[in-house]
Amino acid sequence: MRTGTGAATYLPDLRFTAPAEYARTLRKAHEATISGNPDPFLSPGILKSWQRSLALGIDPDQHRPVHRHDVSEARSLSAGHRLASVMPALSQLLADESAAGRHLLIVTDRQGEVLWRVGSRQALRLADSLEFVEGADWSESGVGTNAIGEALVTGAPAQLFSAEHLVRMHHDWACTAAPIRDPFTGEVVGVLDVSGPFESVTPDSLRMVRCGVRLAEELLKTAGTPAAGHLLRQPASAVRSTLMLRLLGDTPSAEVDGGARLPLTLRRAEILALLASRTQGWSADELAYRLHGEDGAATAIRTEMHRIRSVLGNVVEPNPYRFSSAIRVVTDASVVACHLREGRVLDALAAYPAKLLNRSVNLSVELMRDELNEAMGASVRASGNAQLMMRWCASDMGASDTEAASAMASLVGPNDPRYQLVRAQMERVDRELQA
């Protein structure tokens, strides 16, 4: 018998009645599996999550959480987040700030970035040692397999105990999480998580998290006004416009609040791509160097910024140059990356018609282009899905991915017609490399 995405439960009560023994069993299974001998004590769901995490570059021996914002920035963001209105009720229901409190209440945004932590000083200090802080990315791509990441990938509640986490530094913890959805659209707006030392988890942990999610969604419904697509609801004083940048392919463009597409020159698209890649902004000198090398001049950047504002309005603030806080920026490349982070490889592939700014020969843009393309290829290969691999190899972006082609060929076998297509493609790539 198995429960959720957690470990096999032929000893179903041990995680609650003998947690240390259960953790030791899981650690042995973890070591065997990482060494190449999969242990049946680990569920298929956990193993798939480990495979995705490894494909995204997560190292079981290295705890290197991604930080999207520093703590103060994340706290500022949380104040305007739609879930801010439900935090008092969630804290009252689930948090334990007493001196003896051992678990943390965590709420993230829809991408897994921690926005709130509530708990005792002791629990907060333990979380600090893992950089489990506001602004940290606790999605699967940020820290590897964990309950928050699983809830985002599966869209369902998840509970992970000790060595079900991929990264060894997480083995002293247990976490229980579930997605919070917009009651009008069904879109995920965040994740509710309860985490603490594995001895602190109880049979009621999952039930309480589910209750917390139901409470949050009822409060969101009472507040009214559904989210507009992926936009998070803001207070009236903080309503933002949306700038959509289309940077994949040969004809970059921009849209403001769903209006007409505004064509962008390649240079302006490169500038906007760089601005979208870094929240802290760029000085004029930095951008000049990134775009023009040693001969770059800050005056040229200022001229381009003036032209960008003349087309798009006051979307960029100076000193340093960065997108205005009154603007929510979405790029088609960031949509693809978001799908990959949340394990939706099919959706990512569907949203990825061409490489980032195909015509650009700027080194910084080329690095971003390669990073996205390599992440897509790695995710497709890790999926184990022959049809996905075939679609990827048939695209311009995956046409040279011989590793994916080889994996796909081994899955379908020589009697499948798709095998001959892949074989011909691999031979063509080999000829081109030799030439």
pLDDT, one tens digit per residue, over 134-188 is: 999 999 888 999 999 999 999 999 999 888 999 999 999 999 999 999 888 888 9
CA distance 434 to 185: 53
Residue 226: its pLDDT value, please?
A: 44
Q: Are 372 and 333 in contact (CB under 8 A)?
A: yes
Angle, CA 229 vertex, CA 139 and CA 195 arms, to 5°: 25
Q: Measure Cα distances from 47 to 7, 33, 93, 261, 271 in Å.
A: 10, 9, 33, 43, 41
Query: What is the pTM (predicted TM-score) of this model?
Result: 0.52
- Whether residue 155 contacts residue 77, with contact meaning beta carbons closer than 8 Å, is answered with no
Contact between 133 and 65 (Cβ < 8 Å): no
* Average pLDDT estimate for 216-223: 84
Is there a contact between 124 and 132 (Cβ–Cβ < 8 Å)? no
Helices marked H in 278-356 = 284-292, 298-312, 332-341, 345-350
CA–CA gap between residue 231 and residue 189 (Å, rounded): 9
pLDDT tens across 231-283, in order? 333 343 344 578 899 999 999 999 887 777 899 999 999 999 999 998 888 99
What pLDDT does residue 9 have? 39
CB 259 within 8 A of CB 242: no
Euclidean distance between CA atoms 163 and 54, whole angstroms: 15
**Tokens 């995710």 belong to which residue?**
379
Per-residue pLDDT reduced to its tens digit, 101-125: 889 999 999 989 999 999 999 999 9
